[in-house]
Amino acid sequence: MNYHKKANLTLATVFILFIGAAVIQHYNPNDLKIRLVNFVLEAALVGGIADWFAVTAIFQKPLGWGFHTALIPRNREKVIEAVASMVQSELLRMDLIRQRIEKVPVMDSLIKYLDRKGGSEYLAEKLAPYLQGYLEKQAPNQLAKRLSDFLQANSQAWNLAVRLQAGSRWALNKGYIDQGLDQIAEGLWDKASQMETRQIIIKYLEKIKQEKVSNGGAIFRTLLGFVEKSDGLNLDEAADALQVELLLTLRRLKDHNNPLRLSLKDKLVEEVELLIEDPEFCTWMDTWKESVLADPLTERFLETVISTAIKSAITPSKTMEPTVLEHLLKHYMEKIWHNLKNDQAFCQEANSFLVDILCRVIYNEHDVIGNMVRETLAEYTDQDLNQFVQDKAGNDLQWIRINGSMIGGFVGLSLFLFLEFIYNPFVMPALMNYIPKIY
């Protein structure tokens, strides 16, 4: 049984009991107990009827009485606005929403969810189709044009001389200059070990001999001929010796502690430093930079590079094999995912960032809450709106009616006792004796 029926039953019971008590009192007018019961029931009935009228007047016109009744239908716009404002400004205030959201471990929940799905592999699999689709839509010529325009627009801020200096120091610290010297020494050794190099050395020695013979006198030529006949001057042997010495020198050049190598490396770095300090070189570098960027070949080169890179990234080398893009995504996502899970400071910052983003979105759209309530309630008919309020507060309103009968009966009991045992025997006689004296 709902509270509405209970309230009606209470009022009906009080009414029936009052009728019965009134009939009994009619036949027993001097019985104190019967008069007491009748007085209490009369007060309870009045209280119940008054509260029934008050509660019913909230929703409709009781007994057709139209003066300040049917309050909700009459003030539906105010009611709707009050409910919307209460929900938006009180129940779902921004500070309350933020406090609740800040208690939610958004980042931890997200990491656990992704871990259950497969972690880095799951992210790579989900990102790959989107990135591949994005790359497929790109036009290499347009990308090359934008990149070329960007480079030209920002080239003035790039000091290539300073970058060359920084690059040389970086290469020196990373050991790339040593690697370059190793490759140069190896290449020279391969070239010097060839027969062609020996023939060049012989030709060079022949040239020197001819110059000496041409510049020398008769005695020098006679001595030289004597030395040759006695096999004291053999160019083939000299060429072999020079070639061997050259190979040994190049082999020693591969030793990182070799004095010649150290001197060569220091000289290289020193020359780079000197070039950077040379104003003419810096000016030449800037001119060269601008001319290269303005050359149409640069844009076509960028287009070729971009086109090749996109094609290589999204095209698998063999059927059923992952693409380069997928390989790269898995590789980098694995590193990122590992760092993400173990970096608590970053997770806290990311959680704060996500909470802040959510709160900003909610703040910007906070009026939507009130608007949704207004739009929803505006679609209600007067009957629907009454039912909405009754569903939310109907039980409490019906308890008001029940309490009305109870409080009315209690007040009636108090009044009856006051009238019968205080007012009539003491107060009334005193007043009757006092009033004639006044007049």
pLDDT of 185-240, one tens digit each?
888 888 878 888 878 877 876 777 666 555 554 444 444 444 444 444 466 777 77
Residue 193: phi, psi to the nearest 5? -80, -5
Q: What region does 9 belong to: left with phi over 0, alpha with psi -120 to 50, or beta? A: alpha
**Rounded to an integer, what distance in angstroms lies between the CA atom of residue 161 and that of residue 286?**
9
> Which pLDDT belongs to residue 44?
93
Mean pLDDT, range 288-315, rounded to an integer: 85
CA-to-CA separations, 189 to 180, 185, 249, in angstroms, rounded: 14, 6, 9
Which residues lie below 8 Å from residue 420, measured CB to CB, with a gap of 6+? 32, 36
Task: Say if CB 112 and CB 406 are below 8 A apart.
Answer: no
* Crossing angle (nearest 10°) for helices 140-154 and 279-294: 150
**Rounded to an integer, what distance in angstroms lies between the CA atom of residue 266 and that of residue 258?**
12
pTM, two decimal places: 0.46
Mean pLDDT, range 326-333, rounded to an integer: 85
Predicted confidence (pLDDT) at residue 439 exceeds the cutoff of 60:
no
Of 322, 386, 276, 413, nearest to 124 (Cα)? 322
Burial class (CB in 10 A: 0-12, 13-18, 19+), 184: middle
Q: What is the DSSP string of 92-141?
A: T-HHHHHHHHHTS-HHHHHHHHHHHHTTHHHHHHHHHHHHHHHHHH--HH
Burial class (CB in 10 A: 0-12, 13-18, 19+), 217: exposed
CA-to-CA separations, 426 to 33, 326, 430, 432, 438, in angstroms, rounded: 21, 104, 6, 10, 19
> Which pLDDT belongs to residue 23?
93
- What is the per-residue burial (b if ≥16 Cβ within 10 Å, else e) of 349-360? ebbeeebeebbe
